[in-house]
């Protein structure tokens, strides 16, 4: 199973699990949210696979995608066939995909903190991440579990003060 397929399957399963307990009411009728969230989760998994795979391969090659395909088609094919991710079996790819999706959620939070302008404060005082988790979970209790799982996923990809606590997903 390829990295993109593993991320899409994982996203679809997460969408199915989350959507199975929700509903969407539209136009006088109601639908199970899994009908909507399962393909949305697969699409998000695909987007994450494109951002992980496309950017790292192009940055490593030092070329733009248009020039690599038009001017050197043989090299582009060989670059796409060689993966930076080690060969993993099915179960390992699915676990890696779950961790990558959670690390992406963590990176989203880091990007929000950066946009607000408080990320340097959080980098200097890492316990503020725990404080933010507690404050959010007061208003939305499931956030405690989601935040902790996102931290675990990001921690798998070696977050540190040097990277401003951003997970580098490879």
Residue 80 lies in a domain: no
Residue 152 lies in a domain: yes
pLDDT-based confidence at residue 35 (cuts at 50, 70, 90): confident
Eight-state DSSP code of residue 162? T
Which residues, 6+ apart, have CB-to-CB distance to 53 below 8 Å? 3, 4, 83
Residue 124 lies in a domain: yes
Residue 133 lies in a domain: yes
Residue 10 lies in a domain: yes
pLDDT digits (tens, 9 = 90+) for 80-129: 444 455 566 778 888 888 898 899 989 999 999 999 999 999 999 999 99
Least-confidence region, from 33-47, 67-81, 140-154: 67-81
Domain tally, the chain: 2
Q: Of 40, 55, 70, which residue sits at a domain end?
A: 55
Residue 40 lies in a domain: yes
In the predicted structure, residue 29 carries a pLDDT above the cut 70: yes
pLDDT at 58: 46
In the predicted structure, residue 72 carries a pLDDT above the cut 50: no
Residue 147 lies in a domain: yes
Give residue 129's domain range. Answer: 101-169
Residue 129 lies in a domain: yes
Q: Of 39, 55, 71, which residue sits at a domain end?
A: 55
Question: Tokens 């302008």 identify what position?
Answer: 117
Eight-state DSSP code of residue 81? H
For the residues 126-139, what does the mean pLDDT come to?
91
């Amino acid at each position: 199973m390829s990295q993109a397929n593993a991320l899409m399957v994982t996203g679809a399963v997460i969408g199915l699990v989350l959507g199975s307990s929700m509903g969407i009411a539209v136009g006088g009728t109601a639908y199970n949210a899994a009908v909507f969230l399962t393909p949305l989760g697969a699409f998000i998994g695909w987007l994450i696979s494109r951002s992980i795979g496309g950017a790292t391969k192009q940055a490593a090659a030092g070329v733009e995608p248009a020039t690599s395909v038009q001017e050197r088609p043989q090299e582009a094919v060989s670059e796409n066939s060689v993966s930076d991710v080690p060969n993993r079996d099915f179960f390992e790819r699915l676990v890696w995909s779950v961790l990558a999706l959670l690390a992406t959620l963590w990176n989203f939070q880091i990007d929000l903190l950066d946009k607000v302008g408080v990320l340097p404060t959080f980098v200097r005082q890492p316990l503020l991440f725990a404080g933010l988790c507690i404050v959010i979970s007061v208003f939305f209790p499931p956030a405690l579990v989601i935040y902790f799982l996102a931290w675990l996923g990001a921690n798998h990809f070696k977050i540190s003060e040097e990277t401003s606590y951003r997970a580098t997903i490879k």
